[in-house]
Amino acid sequence: MSPGSYNGGAVVAMIGKNCVAIASDKRFGVQMQTIGTEFSKVFPVTEKSYVGLPGLTTDTQTLQEIFRFKANMYKLREEREIEPRTLSKLVSSTLYERRWGPYFVHPLVAGLDKNNQPFICAMDLIGCITETCDFVVGGTSEENLFGICESVWEPDLEPEDLFETISQALLCSIDRDCFAGWGAVVHVITPERVITRTLKSRMD
Amino acid sequence: MNFVPTALEFDTYGQNGQNGGVPTSLYFDPYDNNGGTALGLSGEDYSIVASDTRQSSGFDIYSRCDQKATKLTENSVLALGGFRADGRSLTKRIIQRMEWYRHAHEKEMSFRAISQLLSVTLYSRRFFPYYAFSLLGGLDENGKGVVCSFDSVGSYHDEPSCVVGSGSALMQSFVDNQIAFHNQQVNNEPISLEKAIRIVKDSFDGVAERDIYTGDSLDIFIITRDGVTTEQYPLRKD
Amino acid sequence: METNIIPRKGGFNFDNYKRNLFLEQKGLTLPKVTKTGTTIVGALFKDGVVLGADTRATGGSIVQDKDIIKISYIAPNIYCCGAGTAADTLFTTALISSQLELHRLTTGRQSRFNSAETMLKQLLFRHQGHIGAALILGGYDINGPVLAHIYPHGSSEHHPYITMGSGSLAAVSVLETRWTKNLERQDAIDMVKDAVEAGIFNDLGSGSNVNLVVIEKNKTESLREYSKPTPHHPKNCDYKYKRGTTAILKESIKDLVVVTDGEAMDIS
C-alpha cells in the first residue's frame, strides 16, 4: 500500500482540435472502502485552465487551496490570468520545493492559452513535467489509462468527438481499477465555452 | 532470481548471538519475472491467442524471438506469462501428459480436458507454484470459441477476452471496450475475425509503446474449425 | 497554510518530511518518482564536443514520457545531459544555468566550463548524493572543448568520451570501438548517434529518439530527433466513436466571454 493509492482516483487529459478535455472519476475511498461518490479530482484555476490532482486526498485538497491562492496572487500582481504553461511551472516548483517531504499527488494541468492553443502536461510527485501533444494520465488507474489512450486517441478531434474518446477511455479504465470509479466528470474546454458533463458509469 | 542453495544465511541477530546463534532466515528466491504480454479473444466460431516475443529481466533483453504461445492441438493454443523457465517446464509437462492420453485413449484431448489438466497440474504445485500465468484459447466441443485464463495455482474460468503478463493492465481496458463494448451505448455488432485480428495488432502496438517489457514481435495464433494458422507482426524494438 | 502565505525565500521545504517518515514507518511504501532510465553520451572531436541522449522517461516499467529532452541548456556554450531522477536533473541544471546567466550579465563575459562544473558539483556534494542527478557536462570555452561527468555525490572527472545511465554498458561498447583522437565532426556525430541507439535497443530503460547537441567554437547546434530509429505503426482500425456513445447524466455549459471588439494590450 502506498499513500498514492490510499484514497484512489483517476484523471486523464487529452488534446483535440483547438480544444482540450480533462476528466476524473468521483470516488473518494479509504483503501477498499468507498466513503463518497461526489469527489472530482479536477479543479478550475482560471476560466480556461484546470488542474487535476489525483493522489492522497488530504494533499489533493491542501494543494488545491495552495494553487487557488497562488493563482489569485499572480492575478493581483500581474493583472492578468495565469497561462496554463505558467501554471504548470508554478505547480512543478511548488512540488519540487518539497523534494524531501513531497505531497503524494500526480498533478495534471490542462487548458487553453491566451491564443487558444491547447496545453496539457503531467507531473510526478516531485514536479518533473511531462508535456505532450496527445494525452496525459494520472492516478491509480494510470496503467489502464495509458493502454487505452495509446490506442483510441487520435489527433484533431472536434470537441464532441474528444468528449466521446476521453469518456470511453476513462470509463473503461476505472472499471478495471477497484480504487477508482463510482461516477465520472468530464470538462471540455473550447475557446467559446466549457462543457461539463457527468457520466453514467458502473457504481461498483 | 537468487539461489542460495548451499549456505544458510545468518542474519545479524543470529550473528550477534541474540537468537542463540541459530539461523533465523534462509534466503531462497527461485522466481523471476521475464515480462511479456499474451492476449486471448474468443468469437462465435474462432478464437485468437496472441503474444509478444520479448523475453527480459530487469533492464535487459534476453531474447527478441521467444515464443510464449504454443500450439497444443488443432483446436487449442496455450500462452504463458510470468517466469519463463516455469512456463517452458509447464508446457513441456502438459504436452507429455497429452501424449500419454493419446496413447491411452487413441484420440486427442479436447479443449475442456486440456483446461482441466492444466488446472490440476498447476494445483499439484500449490505450495511451490509454477510462477506462470496461463491463457488457453481454442474451440469447445461445439466449435465455439473459448478462452480460459488461469492463475498460478490453477483457478480458471472462461472469458470472452483476457490478457495476462506485464502489459495486462494496459491492454485489458482497451479490449473490454473494443471487443466487449463496455460503456458503449450504440455499438454492439459482433466482431468479424478479420477485424478482431486488426484490433489485436493495435492493442499490442499500444502496449509496446508504454510497457518496456513488451515488444520486438507479435505471434498471432488463429484457431478456427479448419485448424490453427499463425501470423507474425512486427512491434517496437526499443 | 501559514507557510504558504508568507513568501518563501527559496530552498527546500521539509514541512511534510516528518509526516511522510511516519507513514513510511507505518509500512506504507513511498510512490516511485519518474526516472530518466537513460542512455546519455558525450564525446570530444577535433574541434568541439558532441552530446547525445535518448528520449524515454520511465516510472517503474511504464514509459512516462516518450519525448523528454535530456540535454539541458546551461549556457550558450555549455550543455548538460542528465540521468537519474528526472526532476533532479531538470531542476539542478535550470538552477545553475540561471546563476550563470546572472553571472554573465554581471561580468559581460562568456561562461567558463569550470564555473558550471564547480557549481554543479558543489551543489550535489552539499546534498550528499540525495539529489539523484548523474550528469555529462560538455562545453567549449577559452580552453577549447571540454567534457566531464559529475556523479550524484559531487565527484567529477574529465574524459574524452563518456557515457552514463542504464544504457551506458551498451553505449560504451560503441565508444570503445570507434573513438579516436581528432575525429571529424560528422564521424563523431555518427558515433554518438550509434552509441545512443545501442542503448535504445539493448536497454529497456532507454528508448524512442536520439537528440544531439554539437558545441564548437562560437557555434552550438541542437539536433532534435537526429535519428528516429523506432517508427510508429499506423493504426489498423479506426477508433473514432459515434457521437452519443457515452451515457450522460448531467450537462452544464459555461459560455466564456469572447472579446472581439478592439485589441487587448499584450503585457506578457
| Percent of residues, chain A, with pLDDT higher than 90 | 99
Residue A128 has its nearest CB partner, among C86, C235, C251, at C86
Indicate if the pLDDT at residue B187 is higher than 90: no
Sign of CA dihedral B54, B57, B59, B61: negative
Q: Residues of chain C with pLDDT > 70: what percent?
A: 96
Residue B2 in this model has a pLDDT that exceeds 80: no
Number of other residues whose CB lies within 10 A of the CB of residue C128:
10
Question: Is a pLDDT exceeding 90 seen at residue C75?
Answer: yes
Cα separation of C117 and C33, whole Å?
26
Q: Is pLDDT above 50 for C108?
A: yes
Return all residues near B168 (Cβ < 8 A) that are at least 6 apart.
Answer: B37, B81
Strand ranges inside A104-180, DSSP E = 108-112, 118-123, 129-132, 135-139
Average pLDDT of the residues in C138-146: 97
CATH of the domain at A83: 3.60.20.10
Mean pLDDT of A108-130: 96
Q: Would the pLDDT of B1 be above 70? A: no
Higher pLDDT, B22 or A1: A1
Band of residue B22 on the pLDDT scale cut at 50, 70, 90: low
Average pLDDT over residues B51-67: 96
- Mean pLDDT for C74-101 is 97
The alpha carbon dihedral of C125, C130, C131, C135 has a sign of: positive
Reply yes or no on whether the pLDDT at B179 is more than 80.
Answer: yes
Q: How crowded is residue C26: how many other Cβ atoms within 10 Å of its Cβ? A: 9
Residue C204 pLDDT > 50: yes
Residues B190 and B44: beta-carbon distance below 8 Å? yes
β-sheet bridge partners, residue A130? A122
Average pLDDT over residues B57-76: 96
**B69 pLDDT above the threshold of 90:** yes
B133 contact partners, CB below 8 Å, separation of at least 6:
B80, B81, B82, B149, B150, B151, B152, B164, B165
What amino acid is encoded at B129 in this protein?
P
pLDDT computed for residue C259 by the predictor: 66
- What are the chain C neighbours of B237 within 8 Å (beta carbons)? 201, 230
Q: Of these residues, C3, C29, C38, C246, which one is catalytic?
A: C38
DSSP, collapsed to helix, strand or coil, labels residue B36 as: coil
Nearest CA-CA distance, residue C223 and chain B, Å: 21
Percent share of chain B, pLDDT over 90: 85
Determine the distance in angstroms separating the CA of C234 from the nearest CA of chain B, rounded to an integer: 9
Does residue C102 carry a pLDDT above 80? yes
pLDDT score recorded for residue B24: 58
If pLDDT is split at 50, 70 and 90, which confidence band does A136 have? very high
State phi, psi for C217 to the nearest 5 degrees. Answer: -60, 120
Contact A124 C1 (CB under 8 A): no
Give every CB contact of residue B96 below 8 A, 6+ residues apart in sequence: none
- Does the structure show a pLDDT above 60 at B166? yes
Looking at residue B61, its pLDDT comes to 97
- CATH code of the domain made up of B37-56+64-235: 3.60.20.10
Question: Which of the other chains make 3 or more beta carbon contacts under 8 angstroms with chain C?
Answer: A, B
Among candidates B119, A204, A96, B22, which has minimal Cα distance to C85? A96
Burial label, B75 (beta-carbon count in 10 A; 0-12, 13-18, 19+): buried
Q: Mean of the pLDDT values across residues A179-201?
A: 97
- Average pLDDT of the segment spanning C219-237: 93
Half-sphere exposure at residue C263, Cβ-oriented, CA atoms within 13 angstroms:
4
Q: What is the DSSP letter of B211?
A: B
Position of cell 489512450? A149
What is the domain count for chain A?
A: 1
B150-159 b/e with 16+ CB inside 10 Å = b?
bebebebeeb
d(CA C165, CA C203): 10
The C-alpha atoms of residue C95 and residue C103 are separated, in whole angstroms, by 13
- What pLDDT score does C28 carry? 84
CA-wise closest residue to C180 among C15, C43, C13: C43
Residue A108, Cα to own-chain centre: how many angstroms? 4
* Cell numbers given for C150: 559529475
Of C85, C88, C254, the CB nearest to A193: C254
The three grid cell numbers given for residue C75, joined into one nine-digit string = 549556457
Is A204 inside any structural domain? no
DSSP-derived 3-state class of residue B198: helix
CB pairs under 8 A between A and B: 62
pLDDT digits (tens, 9 = 90+) for A16-73: 999 999 999 999 999 999 999 999 999 999 999 999 999 999 999 999 999 999 999 9
Residues paired with residue C77 on neighbouring β-strands, in sequence order: none
| Position B5 confidence tier, pLDDT thresholds 50, 70, 90 | very low
pLDDT for residue C160 is more than 70 = yes
Check if B203 contacts A (Cβ < 8 Å).
yes
| Minimal C-alpha gap between B209 and chain C (Å) | 7
How far apart are the CA of C176 and the nearest CA of chain A, in angstroms? 33
Task: Kindly report the three-state secondary structure assignment for every residue of B87-100.
Answer: HHHHHHHHHHHHHH
Q: Report CB contact under 8 Å: A145, B173.
A: yes
Sign of CA dihedral C17, C19, C25, C30: negative
Percent of chain A at pLDDT above 70?
Answer: 100
Tens digit of each residue's pLDDT (9 = 90 or more) over B126-159: 999 999 999 999 999 999 999 999 999 999 999 9
Structural domains present in chain C: 39-227 (3.60.20.10)
Domain extents for chain B? 37-56+64-235
Compare B158 and C258 and report the one with higher pLDDT. Answer: B158
Q: How far apart are CA A123 and CA A139, in angstroms?
A: 11
Cell numbers linked to A32: 477498499
- Mapping DSSP to helix (H, G, I), strand (E, B) and coil, where does residue C198 land? helix
CA C32 to chain centre: 18
The answer on pLDDT for B10 being more than 60 is no
pLDDT at A131 over 90: yes
Range of the domain at A130: 3-199
**A148: which chain C residues are within 8 Å (Cβ-Cβ)?**
none
> In the annotation, is C106 catalytic?
no
Residues of chain C found within 8 Å of residue A70, distances taken between Cβ atoms: 4
**pLDDT category, C257, cuts 50, 70, 90?**
confident
Alpha carbons C94 and C86: distance in angstroms, whole number: 12
Q: What mean pLDDT, rounded, does chain B reach?
A: 90
Extract the C-alpha cell encoding B41: 479473444
Task: Provide the mean pLDDT of chain C.
Answer: 93
**DSSP track, A155-173:** SS--HHHHHHHHHHHHHHH
This prediction's pTM? 0.92
Give the pLDDT band (50/70/90) at residue C5.
Answer: low
| Chains within contact range of chain B (3+ C-beta pairs < 8 Å) | A, C
Rounded Cα distance between B22 and A163, Å, is 64
DSSP of A36-102, one letter per residue?
ES----EEESSSSEEEE--B-HHHHHHHHHHHHHHHHHHHHHHSSPPPHHHHHHHHHHHHHHTTTS-
Region C224-242 average pLDDT: 93
Average of per-residue pLDDT across A76-91: 97
- DSSP run (H or E) holding B104: helix B84-105
Question: According to the model, what pLDDT value does residue C33 have?
Answer: 81
Provide, rounded to the nearest whole percent, the portion of chain B with pLDDT above 70: 89
